[in-house]
Amino acid sequence: MFKIGDIVINNKVVLAPMAGITSFGYRKFMSQFGPGYVVTEMISDMGLIYGNKETLSYIKFEKSRLPTCVQLFGSSPENMKKAVQISESLNPNIDFFDVNMGCPVNKVIKTGAGSALMKNPKLCGDIVRAMKEVTNKPITVKIRLGFDMNHLTFMEVINEVTKAGASLVAIHPRTTKEMYGGQPHWDLVKDLRNKMSIPLVVSGNINTVEDAVNALKITGADAVMAARGAVGKPYLIKNINNYFEGKDVELTSLVEQANLCKELARNLIDEKGEAIAMRVFRGIARLSGELSTYDDLNSIINDYIEENLN
């Protein structure tokens, strides 16, 4: 058990933010597998300030049965503060906010946001402090190790954001330069939780229950984040929970998997309309080729089941 402000989290696995994936429909689908909380896709402070239609659509989600964190990205304390105010005025269903300090994509870091913030620990603290001035909701941050191996600033960033009143840190122990490749550097975050006074979540190649157990053991973290490892394999989250509750790992039958595929597809269609939903679904299911309608998906799944059950 750990707490984010007053929010009690009873699980050791949470759902990571993933741009282009963790929309409302996806989060709703994943909720049944029991992550401790879910996070939106990253949302631009300036997009909110300018009232960009797509940005606003990310923030207008319905009440969820799990705590929902809105992840904001930006580099100016003043604008991040405004982004919090706008978010709260648009949606009463936000449980807490996270600041993206880990995105390695050029388009983001050239504006000084995302993991460019790892170069300036003091600014990281200033952003959290500014956001706290306008909300009573907890503020968390998601960081990397640093910009590159010669600039491992994570401990300074953790100290600055803790002083500023952050309620939790999630760390993805790769550098900006490493993007999403190779192994996370678990050795560099060994016993990290012991050096901290607020909860810690760890992210990076959590693809199996064993990966989760190892990452928690090495770092002493309160929870792991399921990211790519649970895309197309949502049962990963259930099985991590089962492990810690002393229950057996559950295997899903082909028919159950097919039904889950259809359920996710319907959630995405409700949210985005059929054409966009099917494009997103192709990415999640790693399908190529002909899939532009729900009927296409149904026949692909039905053919597959017929071939594999006989």
Ligand X SMILES: Cc1cc2nc3c(=O)[nH]c(=O)nc-3n(C[C@H](O)[C@H](O)[C@H](O)COP(=O)(O)O)c2cc1C
Give yes or no for residue 301 binding ligand X (CB under 6 A). no
Which listed range, 58-66, 117-125, 158-166, 197-205, lies at the site for ligand X (CB under 6 A)?
A: 197-205
| Torsions phi, psi for 68 (to 5 deg) | -115, 130
Tokens of 113: 């946001």
| CA count, 13 A, side-chain hemisphere, 215 | 29
Which listed range, 148-156, 190-198, 204-212, 269-277, lies at the site for ligand X (CB under 6 A)?
A: 204-212
> Is 69 one of the catalytic residues?
no
Which listed range, 14-22, 215-223, 252-260, 302-310, lies at the site for ligand X (CB under 6 A)?
A: 14-22
Q: Pick one of 27, 132, 137, 142: the residue that binds ligand X (CB under 6 A).
A: 142
Q: Which positions from 29 through 58 interact with ligand X, judged by CB under 6 A?
A: 41-42
Indicate the residue among 15 and 265 with the shorter CB distance to ligand X: 15
* Most distant CA atoms of the chain, gap in Å: 62
> Cα separation of 70 and 18, whole Å?
12
Smallest gap from Cβ 175 to ligand X, in A, equals 13
> Cα separation of 56 and 189, whole Å?
36
Give yes or no for residue 233 binding ligand X (CB under 6 A). no
> Cα separation of 146 and 175, whole Å?
5
Tokens of 295: 């009927």
Indicate the residue among 20 and 273 with the shorter CB distance to ligand X: 20
Smallest gap from Cβ 2 to ligand X, in A, equals 19
Which listed range, 19-27, 115-123, 191-199, 273-281, lies at the site for ligand X (CB under 6 A)?
A: 19-27
Indicate the residue among 98 and 126 with the shorter CB distance to ligand X: 98
Smallest gap from Cβ 20 to ligand X, in A, equals 6
> Cα separation of 261 and 277, whole Å?
13
Give yes or no for residue 192 binding ligand X (CB under 6 A). no
User: How far does CA 231 lie from the centroid of its chain?
Assistant: 12
Distances in Å between the Cα of 215 and the Cα atoms of 13, 98, 198 are 11, 22, 18
Tokens of 122: 């003091």
Give yes or no for residue 16 binding ligand X (CB under 6 A). yes
Could you say which of 69, 103, 124, 261 is catalytic?
Answer: 103
Give yes or no for residue 180 binding ligand X (CB under 6 A). yes
Smallest gap from Cβ 159 to ligand X, in A, equals 20
Smallest gap from Cβ 62 to ligand X, in A, equals 20
> Cα separation of 74 and 79, whole Å?
7
Q: Which amino acid is at 205?
A: N
Q: Which positions from 70 through 109 interact with ligand X, judged by CB under 6 A?
A: 71, 100, 102-103
Smallest gap from Cβ 147 to ligand X, in A, equals 16
Tokens of 98: 């996270």
| Torsions phi, psi for 64 (to 5 deg) | -110, 160
Indicate the residue among 61 and 301 with the shorter CB distance to ligand X: 61
DSSP per residue, 2-58: EEETTEEE--SEEEPP-TTT--HHHHHHHHTT--S-EE---EEHHHHHTT-HHHHHH
Give yes or no for residue 160 binding ligand X (CB under 6 A). no
Question: CB burial class (10 A; 0-12, 13-18, 19+) of residue 183?
Answer: exposed
Q: Pick one of 19, 56, 209, 218: the residue that binds ligand X (CB under 6 A).
A: 19
Just list the catalytic residues.
103
Interacting residue ranges for ligand X, rule: CB under 6 A: 16-21, 41-42, 71, 100, 102-103, 142, 172, 180, 203-206, 225, 227-229
